[in-house]
Amino acid sequence: MLCPKCGYYSEKEEIVCPECGEVLAVEGLQKQTGAQAIRQGKRAREAALRQPAAAPEPRRRRRDASRTAESVTGAVPPVNRQEELQPEMIPAEEAEQEEASEPEGFDRLYRPVYDESNLQEEEAERAAQRYEQSHHRSVHGVNWVKAIFISAVVLVFALAGGWAFLRYTDMGQRVLVRLGQKANSTALWAVGEEQLDEGDVLRAIDSMELARKQDEDAGIIDVDGLLLLGNAYEAAGRVDDAALLYEKIYTETPSRTEAYVNHIRILRTNRNPGDLAKAGELMKTAYEKTGDSSFATQRSDLLPAPPEVWPIAGYYETKRRLSITSYQGFEVYYTFDDNAELPSGGTLFTEEILLEEGIHNLRAVAVNGELVSDELRGTYKIIMPSPQMPRATLAPNTYKTRQRVKLKPGKDNENDSDIVIYYTVDGSVPDADSPIYNGEAIVLPTGWVDLRAVAVNRYNKVSKTMEIKYKIEAKPWPLSAWDMTEPIQGLNLNQTGMMDFQKEFGEGTLAEEYMSAEFDSECRRYEYGWGYAVMNRTRSGWMLVELYLTNTSGFKLPRNTNIGDTEAYVTGKFRDMGQVESASGNRGLYDTGKGTGKIWLQEDGTKIIRYRCSTADSRMQQLDYYVNKGGTVFAVDWKYEP
């Protein structure tokens, strides 16, 4: 029976629908009332409680039934409906026999056994159900406008959700990368890593380079991504690109160790010329920047040990001889130049180095091929002690008579046997060309006397200068020094013109014409019977700058001196403080600050008595008396020095 409300089909004759509880009635069939109807309703309610609503009971069909009308129209023809739907009945005896002959278990065919008494009722109910279903389908049609609208809304939401998925999720961004579309750098790095893991190195490099460019444009440094790109470069055989990338990484982020490690590995593996040395330097830099001691350990295992030196650096008061060696037998290069580059700017050590007085900053390295050790550094301070200033036995004062004075070393050097005292009384500063004090008393000259002395020890260290002024009021008084107010024959150097000179002394013979380095201009030398004269070309014309005399015919020398005079006669005409000769044979006559007088011993045994004075224009004039070995003057030279 077919329920008109829910369409549920009941195989047995029931009054109430087991599915929804509707009272059932089929046209043409006898309705049951009373106790039977009550029983039917009870059975229907129990069936509804026992069976799920979504799983209706299986429907039975009669064998060999015609389905032509049902398949075409979905409805049962109204004519003689019950007879047409009459199923093939199987008597109870035959059913029992078939059941006995069929196999047990799952192999047994299912065959329903019908009760003949209510067969007609069940067939009628099935027919009614088919009719109701066909009628229901024909009554309720499809709302296509609503369906299309709902479908469009669903499509829009689906598209929006897909766009949001691709735009805002990591997985969506990766999908875009794989589709070749624009995506963020995070997705590009991730997909590049996946491609590298899959062995697709070239595509991985393309993805990572796009990610790197995006990060650089945004000012981002993704160290992990860049390291991954470096690995991809190495996998593709682009070792140089990988090395440059690692260098960029540790330059911009020096605290990360991975880039140092990878670059060092490349340098040690490739073994190009100079790569091992670069690896050693990079290990040093990595240790300084990261503090990772493993870099220092690697470096010490790779490079030669620094050289050794004897004596060790420090402070010394004497000269020292320095030895530098490598216990590993490598070559050693050294330098004392703070700016020199080792080993190229150094000197190969072959023999001991003598360290003179001063401060010496030693730098040295051991070299094994292209590998260079760390620098050995040391400072040697060779500072030899200086002696104390010498002392004098005569106090400074004014004395009426000639005085004698002795010199002695300072208190700290009284017992030193290596002290040498140099002194002067001519007004000059003592030096190695001054007289050496021999222990005897020094006779002081008259007038104002400046006694000066210095002490020198075995290290050639010079003390401070002792200076004592005395006034000796005793005769004879010292003479005055020579100056430019005492010319020869009234001539004035650098002022007397060539025409005036030649007018008085003749034109002479032009012997030489040359460019003078002293005057920075052209000079001419004219020879005469008495010697020669030198003219210099100036802006004012040719001027006399030198006069050399071998005889004084027609010339008057200063202070009535003349050629043929003795050394003592000439020095007696000018200031002489009586200073004794030095160890070199020279003797100082005077030093006033504006002019000097000194006797110079020449290598051939001759001497020059030389007087010098400054001019008004701060230039110098020099008057020389040449004395032969016999002690007499044989020539006089007077010249102007610019």
Q: What are phi and psi of 83, to 5 degrees?
A: -65, -40
Q: Which helix (H) or strand (E) holds 188?
A: helix 185-197
Same domain, 354 and 400: no
- Residue 451 sits in a domain of what CATH number? 2.60.40.10
Give the number of other Cβ atoms within 10 Å of residue 276's Cβ.
20
Q: Is 450 helix (H, G, I), strand (E, B) or coil?
A: strand
Are 317 and 385 in contact by the 8 Å Cβ rule? The answer is yes
Six-digit token string for 332: 């050693």
Last residue of a domain, one of 329, 361, 382: 382
**With 60 as the cut, is the pLDDT of residue 61 above it?**
no
Q: How far lies 464's CA from each of 235, 416, 427, 461, 638, in Å?
A: 76, 17, 16, 10, 37
How far apart, in whole angstroms, are the C-alpha atoms of residue 562 and residue 632? 10
Same domain, 612 and 502: yes
Same domain, 333 and 456: no
Same domain, 374 and 420: no
**Residue-range definition of the domain harbouring residue 71:** 35-139
Six-digit token string for 232: 């991809």
How far apart, in whole angstroms, are the C-alpha atoms of residue 179 and residue 467? 100
Task: Note if the bond before 273 is cis, omega within 30 degrees.
Answer: no
Q: Going edge to edge, which strands form the sheet with 531-538? A: 509-516, 521-528, 531-538, 541-549, 633-641, 620-627, 607-614, 595-601, 587-591
What's residue 494's pLDDT?
A: 92
In a domain, 47, yes or no: yes
Q: What is the mean pLDDT of residues 76-87?
A: 45
Same domain, 511 and 626: yes
Same domain, 596 and 569: yes
What's residue 154's pLDDT?
A: 85
Same domain, 443 and 411: yes
Strand partners for 509? 527
Q: Mind listing the pLDDT tens digit for each residue in 175-184?
A: 888 777 788 8
Q: Mind listing the pLDDT tens digit for each residue in 404-460?
A: 999 999 999 999 999 999 999 999 999 999 999 999 999 999 999 999 999 999 888
Last residue of a domain, one of 106, 139, 172: 139
In a domain, 269, yes or no: no
CA 157 to chain centre: 57
Same domain, 584 and 510: yes
Count of domains for the chain: 4
Q: Mind listing the pLDDT tens digit for each residue in 356-370?
A: 989 999 999 999 988
In a domain, 155, yes or no: no
Give the number of other Cβ atoms within 10 Å of residue 416's Cβ.
14
Q: Mind listing the pLDDT tens digit for each residue in 265-320?
A: 998 887 678 888 888 888 989 988 998 999 988 888 888 999 999 999 999 988 99
Q: Is 620 helix (H, G, I), strand (E, B) or coil?
A: strand
Same domain, 365 and 402: no
In a domain, 217, yes or no: no
Range list of β-strands (E), 503-618: 509-516, 521-528, 531-538, 541-549, 587-591, 595-601, 607-614
Last residue of a domain, one of 472, 507, 532: 472
Average pLDDT score over the chain: 83
Same domain, 527 and 630: yes
Same domain, 511 and 631: yes
Categorize the per-residue pLDDT at 549 as very low, low, confident or very high, splitting at 50, 70 and 90: very high
- Residue 374 sits in a domain of what CATH number? 2.60.40
In a domain, 345, yes or no: yes
Categorize the per-residue pLDDT at 89 as very low, low, confident or very high, splitting at 50, 70 and 90: low
In a domain, 118, yes or no: yes
Six-digit token string for 343: 């080993």
Six-digit token string for 218: 């945004």
Q: Mind listing the pLDDT tens digit for each residue in 192-247?
A: 888 888 888 998 998 898 988 988 888 888 889 899 999 999 899 998 899 899 99
In a domain, 127, yes or no: yes
In a domain, 146, yes or no: no
Same domain, 336 and 398: no
